[in-house]
Amino acid sequence: MKIVEIENVSKIYLMRGKKQSPVYAVTNVSLDVEEGEILGLLGANGAGKTTLIKLILGLTPMNEGSIRINGYDVTKSRAKALSKIGALVEAPTLFANFTGWENLKYYSKLQGCDMSDDKLRSIVELVGLSERIDSKFRTYSLGMKQRLGIAQAIMHSPSLLILDEPTNGLDPDGILQMRELFINLKKELGVTMIISSHILSEMQQVCDRVAFMVKGEIKAVKTMDEVNYGVNALRKFSLECSDCEAARLIIAERGVDCSVKDNALIVTAEQEQIGSMVKELVDNGINVYAMNRIKRSLEDLYKEVAQ
């Protein structure tokens, strides 16, 4: 089922009172988010990620198009559309002199959900803050602040969680903890997530799909498998064999693109063809010791997407 349906959405910022040209922040974007998936929104600074997220959350009006969440139009039925969404867009608004716990208690009362201490404790545990929850918020690291913000965002058990650059500014340790948290949130709560970032490698271990945003447009949406290995017809494999040169001659006979590199035969082919290639090599007395898919470089991917 589709949780979010974005259709032909555009957003233009007009600078009032200034002689500046309008900013086309989001241009004709269409994108669906499936229930249960983690969708990465990847783009350089200024690509339009935050604007698109604000449009999904109804925080800024769109110039064209429509967005539906759980079937409800964000513009026409805002309250219903947003009732099951949790979000962390800018730094969380929490009180510096309250402890983490006091902040969450206060917020839960404010929300009118005044949840039990047990339930709150399980959320604190999920975001990995149990040990420091009684420390003052101002003593938290950026990563801890972000995780408390996420605790706040998931208190009302949302079906969709939207996080805008949650790893921005975190050190490698903080990024690792955040990544583990995303995977846990998906596992424990089954929550659908949209996570934006300008760093692809941060998304690679977390997301199911990635939408590539360039200058306000979604240029491509790829599954993680496609991100890593390309489309099926153009996948690269390395076959380590006893006689690579002889293997190359046999495989080239098939009209398959192949070459020898570092004692391995590199072939570009559909993955369904690999089994019969290996069999043919073995039938011709060549031993195949190992076979691997070759991951594409991030540079290759950027070239392909940004064109």
Ligand X SMILES: Nc1ncnc2c1ncn2[C@@H]1O[C@H](COP(=O)(O)OP(=O)(O)O)[C@@H](O)[C@H]1O
Decide: is 192 part of the binding site for ligand X (CB under 6 A). Answer: no
Give the separation between CA 16 and CA 45, rounded to whole angstroms: 23
The residue (of 175 and 251) whose beta carbon lies closer to Mg ion is 175
Interface positions, 38-67, toward ligand X (CB under 6 A) = 43, 45-51
First-to-last CA distance in the chain?
Answer: 31
Q: Which does 43 bind (CB under 5 to 8 A by kind): Mg ion, ligand X, none?
A: ligand X
Closest by CA to 294, choosing from 251, 234, 209, 241, is: 234
Decide: is 3 part of the binding site for ligand X (CB under 6 A). Answer: no
Q: Which residue is nearest to Mg ion (CB)?
A: 50
Decide: is 197 part of the binding site for Mg ion (CB under 5 A). Answer: no
Q: What sign does the CA torsion over 273, 278, 281, 283 have?
A: negative
In the complex, least distance from residue 58 CB atom to ligand X, rounded to whole angstroms: 15
Q: Is 252 exposed, middle or buried (0-12, 13-18, 19+ CB in 10 A)?
A: middle
In the complex, least distance from residue 161 CB atom to ligand X, rounded to whole angstroms: 18
Residues pairing with 218 in the sheet: 213
Give the separation between CA 257 and CA 134, rounded to whole angstroms: 61
Q: Which does 46 bind (CB under 5 to 8 A by kind): ligand X, Mg ion, none?
A: ligand X
Q: Is 78 exposed, middle or buried (0-12, 13-18, 19+ CB in 10 A)?
A: middle
Q: Are 137 and 95 within 8 A, CB to CB?
A: yes
Total number of residues binding ligand X (CB under 6 A)? Answer: 11
Q: Are 184 and 216 within 8 A, CB to CB?
A: no
The residue (of 50 and 108) whose beta carbon lies closer to Mg ion is 50
The residue (of 48 and 230) whose beta carbon lies closer to ligand X is 48
Interface positions, 8-37, toward ligand X (CB under 6 A) = 13, 23, 25
Decide: is 50 part of the binding site for Mg ion (CB under 5 A). Answer: yes
Site residues, Mg ion (CB under 5 A) = 49-50
Site residues, ligand X (CB under 6 A) = 13, 23, 25, 43, 45-51
